[in-house]
Structure 1
């Protein structure tokens, strides 16, 4: 990650905590922009397009849960909620609102920096227009709007614009784009109509693309790659923090509940019934694994 990418927005109504967060993040090389309420914070995320956003829950105006939902409508910024509200329902609401992590106040600056570093080691979502920007450059080789509408194309000045005087029928395009879900594509992992492409971070169910959050995709990719091997909640929680298989890291009950919430949201988006799972099977008291292949 370059220095240009290290931009953070701090949404916090307590001035002392806001200054502390600015100091912690600036020591980590971030350019910071702060807001004292949810509405201003959402607008700063829209304006500065940060890599990281910290968000208080209890604020004047819209609260952190609503601010998170609005931010997630246009941004894939890494989102950390910081709050003194530590009840389980608050943690679940924060994660369901789109937070990547949920840290209770008072927090330790070293822990906050460690969690941020772990998140930044995780791959970001592929560009998918989530920020709603117009005028993004087209991929190399893509048809330009003018060409699609029959306008002039650079290098084609000798072609006739009148179909009646054209030397012959317009030839078909030189290349046909093959859908990414075509059978046999390299890189795709498939199981019972569910297809995952880890590098492009794409998920397709029965031919339809499914939009997942970063954490939901990471969990699905881990489970489908492990096939029938059980992945424990602690294992999955560590993987989400970028510390897969590092047993020296502590995994709290809140971390495990976060995995449960992400899995529940993932199943809902996939259209899976947890009682009769098509893809993700719960191994009670242990964790999760891929369901058996048809006929197995």
Structure 2
């Protein structure tokens, strides 16, 4: 399922966009600040980002710059004034489209579909990830370790998929919490520690593959 990341600090606007996108069969993630947008972008690997210009923490311009430094993720900027579009174009931010508020949610959905078609339909990573002896299938929510099936919850699969996408890269607890889909629910980051503990138990003798980086988070160690 194609994931759209909605970055909007006006809760009602974000909820309306989310409702319309889900009606069209999209999966959605929501962020209400610039820093959280970057966390969710790395954790959820969306196909497209709907990015408001005015955000707390980091504004949309800086979020777009940081994303563009690492990725060609399609971005549709949401702006409050027509003049902002000219400024964004002049700055060369590289957004794929612009929508000026107030907008029709149907128009935004149409723009999303058009940009995805131009981008090849879906910028999401392949559904099956391989990292050493570990295989994670994000489409079927199945995983196995050295050929042995693992009995995982959906949240554990999402968490493991994030670690498996880039073995050796340290993921913060906030990133892993976002992968669990719990970032916006006030869930304590210690929830991640509990999930890692369960995963290590299920890994059995290979539990050391899930490495703790003290004070930061976790990484998947594979040779």
TM normalised by structure 2 equals 0.51
Matched, 1:103 2:105: no
Aligned Cα root-mean-square deviation (Å): 2.8
1:59/1:28 CA distance change after superposition, 3 Å = same
Residue of structure 1 equivalent to 2:33: 37
Deviation (angstroms), 1:75: 2.6
CA distance in 1, matches of 2:62, 2:111: 23
* Structure whose residues are more often strand by fraction: 2
After superposition, give the CA deviation of every residue in 1:8-54 in whole Å (9 maximum; x if it has no partner).
11111111111111112111211111111011001101111000110
Deviation (angstroms), 1:108: 1.0
Residue of structure 2 equivalent to 1:92: 89
Matched residue count: 127
Q: Which of the numbers 65, 69, 73 marks the counterpart of 1:69?
A: 65
1:135/1:75 CA distance change after superposition, 3 Å = farther
1:93/1:19 CA distance change after superposition, 3 Å = farther
Contact 1:66 1:97 in 2 (8 A): no
Contact 1:8 1:33 in 2 (8 A): yes
CA distance in 2, matches of 1:134, 1:73: 26
Unaligned runs of 5+ in 2: 133-223
Residue of structure 2 equivalent to 1:14: 10
Residue of structure 2 equivalent to 1:115: 111
Residue of structure 2 equivalent to 1:265: none
CA distance in 2, matches of 1:66, 1:134: 33
After superposition, give the CA deviation of every residue in 1:266-286 in whole Å (9 maximum; x if it has no partner).
xxxxxxxxxxxxxxxxxxxxx
**Structure 2 SS opposite 1:69:** helix
Contact 1:79 1:101 in 2 (8 A): yes
Q: Which of the numbers 24, 29, 50 marks the counterpart of 1:28?
A: 24
CA distance in 1, matches of 2:28, 2:108: 15
CA distance in 1, matches of 2:48, 2:17: 12
After superposition, give the CA deviation of every residue in 1:47-89 in whole Å (9 maximum; x if it has no partner).
1100011000011121101100111122322211111032053
CA distance in 1, matches of 2:90, 2:8: 18
Unaligned runs of 5+ in 1: 137-296
Q: How does 1:131-210 map to 2 (within 5 A)?
A: none
After superposition, give the CA deviation of every residue in 1:183-225 in whole Å (9 maximum; x if it has no partner).
xxxxxxxxxxxxxxxxxxxxxxxxxxxxxxxxxxxxxxxxxxx
Deviation (angstroms), 1:104: 0.2
Residue of structure 2 equivalent to 1:205: none
Residue of structure 2 equivalent to 1:46: 42
Contact 1:65 1:93 in 2 (8 A): no
Bigger radius of gyration among the two:
1
Contact 1:46 1:75 in 2 (8 A): no
Q: Which of structures 1 and 2 has the larger relative contact order (alpha carbons within 8 angstroms, sep 6+)?
A: 2
